[in-house]
Each structure stands twice: as C-alpha cells, then as structure tokens.
Amino acid sequence: MPKYQKDAEQLLKDIGGKENINAVTHCATRMRFVLNDPDKADQEAIDEIPSVKGMFTNAGQFQVIIGNDVATFYNEFKEIAGVEGTSQEDIKSVAQKKQNPLQRAVGALAEIFAPIIPAIIVGGLILGFRNILEGVDFGGATIVDRSTFWAAINDFLWLPGEAIFQFLPVGITWSVTRKMGTTQILGIVLGITLVSPQLLDANEVASTAAADIPNWDFGFAQVDMIGYQGQVIPAMLAGFLLAYLEIFFRKYIPEAVSMIFVPLFALLPTIIAAHVVLGPFGWWLGDIISNVIFSGLTSSLSWLFSFAFGLLYSPLVITGLHHMSNAIDLQLIASEVTSHTTSLWPMIALSNIAQGSAVLAVIYLHRGDKKEEQVSIPAMISCYLGVIEPAMFGINLKFIYPFVAAMIGSGFAGLFNNFMDVRANSIGVGGLPGILVINSQIGGGYLAFAISMVLAIVISFALTIVFRKRGIFNKEDREEPAPAIAADVAASGDIDLSSTEEGTATVSSITQGTTEKLFAPVSGQLLEITAVDDPVFSQKMMGEGYAVKPKSDKIYAPVEGKISSVFETNHAIGILTPAGAEVLVHMGLDTVELKGEPFTVNVQENDKVTADTQLALMDRKVVENAGKQTDILTIFTNGDQIGSLSMKDQKEVSAQEEIGSVEVFS
C-alpha cells in the first residue's frame, strides 16, 4: 500500500471530494487547493488526519500543511483523486478568479503596501522619537530647547523621516510596477516627478493664495505646479496607468525598438496625465475620504464609530480587509482637515494590545502546558510589539473565547481613545510601541493613550478568564493540562509510570535521546523561528527550528547527514541526520513561485553532507526584487522525535559556525 494512501483518501473526502477541487498543487511544505466551495471542507476532520500538521486559507488558496514529504503525499493524492496538478502561477490565477472584486482589490492593495511597510514602520518610530524631543514639555521646555546636541539629532532625523513620508509616492509607484511586473525604474522616476522640488509642496498649498501657485503656461491651458508629497491615491492612480500603458505598448511595438519607445510612450503620457487629471482627481477623492472618516470620528455618533472599529478590526484582519487601513491612515495624515494626524492608527495599536492580552490570559489559564507555551508566549510578545497574526491564528481563534474577549476589550479601549481625541502623527509599530507616534498637542495625548492601553489589557484579560470559566464562546473547553514531564527525566532511560488519578500521565519506553550539533547555514542575523513572517513556520506548524537573515548568498548544511530530497524548484532541501532528525532547509519565503531562478543547488539525493558542505547559492537580489523575504530556515519536521532545541544567545552568526544543539529520540 502506498505510504499515504489512507490519509490521502481521508483528505479527499474531508475536502469535499474531487468535484470540489478546482485546482491543486504543492510547495515544499503544503498542499495548495483552490476549492469550488470552501465551506464544504471539514476543517476539524482534516485536522485529525495524522499527516496533516495544520491548515489555513490565504489569497483564495486552502493550504494544508503536510511537511517535508509533501511531494510524495501530493503524487499519491493525485492518483487517488484522479486530478491533474497545476502550476503555482496557474493556481494563483485561478485563486484570484475565485475572489470577488472587493477581495481582488484588497489583495492588490496588500501587495502594493506590503513591500513599503518596513520603511513606514521605521519612519513612524523616527517621527515618534522626534515627537518626544520637540513636542513634550518637560518642566517648561522641550528637550531640543534645553540641549544643542538633541536639537541637532532632531534636525538630522527629519532627513529619513522626510524621505519616507514626504516622498511616499515614489515608494508607491515603484511598488505598483513591481506588482504589475513592469519596469520598476520607470515607477521610481514617475514617483519623483510627483514630489519634485520644482513643485509647490503639497503641505503649503492650503496656505498659498491661488494667484501665487506656480503653473505651466501652455498658452491654451495652464497646469498648476503642485506636488503630491505624502499623497497615496494620486500615486496609485499614476502607477497603475504607467503599468497598463507599458503592458499595452509592449504588445504592439517591435522588440528591436521596444527599449526606446515603450518607456517613452508609457512614461511621458503618464506624467502629463498625473499632473493634469489623475493628481487633482486623486487629491479630491482623498479629501472626500478623509472628510467622511474624520466626520464620523468627530460626530455625535463618534462613540459608536470608534467602538465598532475597535470591535471589528480583528475580524477585518482575518478577511484581509485591514490592509485598506494603511491607505486610509496615510490619506488622513496627508489631509489639512485632520491637522496631518490620524485617529485610526491608535485604535489599531489598541486592537493588537487587546489580542496579546487575551493570549496572556490563555497562558495563565493553561499554565503548565509546555507545548502550547512554545507558541503562545512568542505570539503574545509579537502581538504586544505590533504583529497580530500569530496570536490570532495560533491561539485566540483556536479557542474563540479569547478572540471575542479581545474584540470587546479593543472596542471599549477604542471608544475611550476617540472620546479623548487621541491621534497619531504617523503610522508605525502597533501594540505597546504605538505610544511613540501619539500626538502630544491634540486631545488627551500620551496619558489618554496610556489609559486606553490599560483598558485594552484589563478588559481583554478579565473577559477571557470569565468566558473560559463560564463556558461562553468556548470552541474547545479544556481542563488544566497535566504538568509537563521534565526533559531530563525523559532522557534518563525507560520509564513506566501509571496512575488512576485524573491529570497524571502514563509514559512507557522512553528512549535515550541523541544530541546533534547545529550550525549556521549562512552568515547573518540569527532569528527565533517565531520571528519569521510566515504563520506556517512562526507558529511551528512544521516543527521546531530557527532562521537566519542572510548577509551572503552561500548556503551551507546546518546539520551533518544525508540529502533526502531536493525540491524541484530548488528552494528547499531535505536532510536526514544520523539520529533520525528530518531537517528542511528552506531558502526564502514563498520562493516556490520563483521557479528556481535564484537558486543553484550543489548537492543531490543521497549525498553525505557536513557543516562544511555548500548546499546551494541563493541570489538574494533576485529574491528581493521579486518582493520575497530571504530568510534561510532550518526546520525539524518530525516533531514527535525532536526534544529540546538549545541555541546560543547571539545575534550575528557566521556560516558553518556551531550555534546550538538538538535532542533527537529514536
């Protein structure tokens, strides 16, 4: 019988049968389905299949995590189901067709903003620090008033702050061309023409008399020379026009002269349209959106609006609609009506704090569950620091009641926050660091936001405990877990314990563990696996492990062993160690879509490897230009045989350097 026949048959049944499969493919770790009716998939039943390590839905794809042996599982599944496989690009296209127009629009928005979010976060932190230096009164004077040094630091920090927020249109137009697969340098040039120093700064337009606004006089028409610093919608409209014009002209202009005429015919008309039509229209539309939202936040029903936003932001994260908030926040900050501030960002930060506090309550309720704590504690920390997904998907949605408790806590915190008219000068890191970007001159400032944070923490924590104790919203009601068996006891030899008392464990035939050395596969920054920006890895669905953010293209073996598999797109390599650990070396995130282009693999199946063996070369520039992350992951996929993982406490590592050890049980 094939290795996974029973599990594959069960998955086919639980997923809704062959007739419910529109398309199917796989990557290095998971099966990727596009289902005709996602509601027919019985997720609880799928979760019980032995080979399945987890599942989630993303961008219209229903993804089932199998692990290192996914290729074998996939081939057996195809035979049993009688379906043909689909390429990664085709399944992505099919998934997009299954989405409604709103989902596609939100997905496009997410793809545009995702690459520039790191810069926006850094900019938010910088402006938040400047806000403290120049905006907070300490005993009658600010820090910059008292210190020449800090005054100079404050002035210097405006350099990166201006680069990020004033020149934001450059990042947006570049990101649009990256998403559309067109020439990215043209997007950068287009963005520069929207914020050129030749133009009147967008922030000065409101205070400049109409007669004093410079213009281009073409004789038959005059066009205002206005810049679009910090504006989102004009930049997006111009970016998409540029991309579509380039795609259009590439179809009709001969390849021999396309390098000359395609950029000319795409870029020049776009620049003209941006300043004559798209820019003024985008500015007008942005003002309408800002006015409507600001009116809602300041009207007699502002309490209802703010409570609803705080309550529903977390569900928006599940649907992906929360990506729209980035564009709205930036539009609010660009508006004169709001005094260049936003009331939404503080409430988003409070939602993160509420979800993290609900996880904290779950940790308290389930204290002693060591396996769960491996996920819950890092998830709570990351949530408090602004990354909400691990807490939501790894813990709160699993039990439901903490998720609902956090929604309510976020709602009340948002209500109080808006009642005190707390606003942010920029968007930045959510969670607790969100206080850095709060405007200290408008409304309640830092103190009011600090009280809002306390409300989010206390209400979410308390309601989580109340809901658990009273069985409210409980998806999975559990007793307190039995105390974990200490690793040193497990490693001491065969044990036979038994008890009839509830809550104690029975263990038999525990085999002595073997410790194997771990090495850095590449030079760079060593990361906890929970810090990786992919829930499949960060939530340890695939197993324990670690990652390195590389500073080199040379990838070495992180363990001694034998090559067990090389994935067909070369982005992942399997290694079997002498003690039986199944190790997956995964190069980059979502790099399966690159079809092997950035990777040169130097090994093949059954080759013996050590820490000195160079497994592959990864062209980081190709990966980064494709909008992917370059993290090199080392994952132990046979979790039932993996004991404690010990890592040295260091940030920077060198390739082939010993960095820790792992215990493997046979």
Q: Which of 75, 92, 86, 97 is nearest to 23 (CA)?
A: 86
Beta carbons within 10 angstroms of residue 287's beta carbon: 16
Q: Are the beta carbons of 31 and 64 closer than 8 angstroms?
A: yes
Residue that the structure tokens 């439901």 belong to? 400
Which residues of the chain are under the pLDDT cut of 70?
1, 28, 58-59, 68, 85-107, 110, 318-324, 371, 389, 428-429, 474-512, 650, 666
Can you tell me the distance from the alpha carbon of 564 to that of 373, in angstroms, rounded to the nearest whole number? 31
3-state secondary structure 581-632: CEEEEEECCCHHHHCCCCEEECCCCCCEECCCCEEEEECHHHHHHCCCCCCE
Q: Does domain 513-665 match CATH 1.20.120.450? A: no
Could you give the residue numbers annotated as active site?
A: 27
The pTM for the full model equals 0.57
3-state secondary structure 453-515: HHHHHHHHHHHHHHHHHHCCCCCCCCCCCCCCCCHHHHCCCCCEECCCCCCCCCEECCCCCEE
DSSP 8-state code for residue 544: S
In the chain, domain spans: 4-98, 100-139+299-477, 147-293, 513-665
Can you tell me the distance from the alpha carbon of 228 to that of 166, in angstroms, rounded to the nearest whole number? 8
Residue that the structure tokens 């988003």 belong to? 348
Q: Are the beta carbons of 2 and 76 closer than 8 angstroms?
A: yes
Tokens of 222: 């005059």
Tokens of 433: 């660091």
Q: Say how far residue 54 (Cα) sits from the centre of its chain.
A: 18
49-81: pLDDT as tens digits: 888 877 777 667 788 888 767 888 988 998 888
Spatial strand order in the sheet of 21-26: 21-26, 30-35, 61-65, 54-58
Helix-helix angle 148-161:117-135, to 10 degrees? 150
β-bridge partners, 61: 58
Can you tell me the distance from the alpha carbon of 358 to that of 55, in angstroms, rounded to the nearest whole number? 22
216-275: pLDDT as tens digits: 988 888 899 999 988 888 999 999 999 999 999 999 999 888 889 999 999 999 999 999
Q: Calculate ∠ Cα 527-530-531, nearest 5°.
A: 50
Residue that the structure tokens 């992951």 belong to? 633
The total number of residues written for the chain in this structure: 666
468-477: b or e for each residue (b if 16 or more CB lie within 10 Å)?
Answer: beeeebeeee
Q: Which of 241, 57, 23, 71 is nearest to 592 (CA)?
A: 71
Beta carbons within 10 angstroms of residue 370's beta carbon: 13
What class has domain 4-98?
Answer: alpha beta
Q: pLDDT value at position 573? A: 93
SS3 of residue 52 by DSSP: coil
CB-based burial label for 252 (10 Å; 0-12, 13-18, 19+): exposed
352-366: pLDDT as tens digits: 999 999 999 999 988
Beta carbons within 10 angstroms of residue 32's beta carbon: 23
Q: Decide whether 4-98 matches 513-665 in CATH topology.
A: no
The span from the first CA to the last CA of the chain, in angstroms, equals: 24
Q: pLDDT value at position 504? A: 36
Q: Which helix (H) or strand (E) holds 179?
A: helix 168-180
Q: pLDDT value at position 472? A: 83
Q: Which helix (H) or strand (E) holds 659?
A: strand 658-664
Q: pLDDT value at position 84? A: 73
Tokens of 44: 């609880």
SS3 of residue 519 by DSSP: strand
Helices (H), 321-421: 324-334, 344-365, 370-384, 389-391, 397-399, 401-419
Can you tell me the distance from the alpha carbon of 318 to that of 316, in angstroms, rounded to the nearest whole number? 5
Q: Are the beta carbons of 437 and 128 closer than 8 angstroms?
A: yes
Q: Which regions of 181-273 does DSSP assign to beta strands (E)?
A: 215-217, 222-224
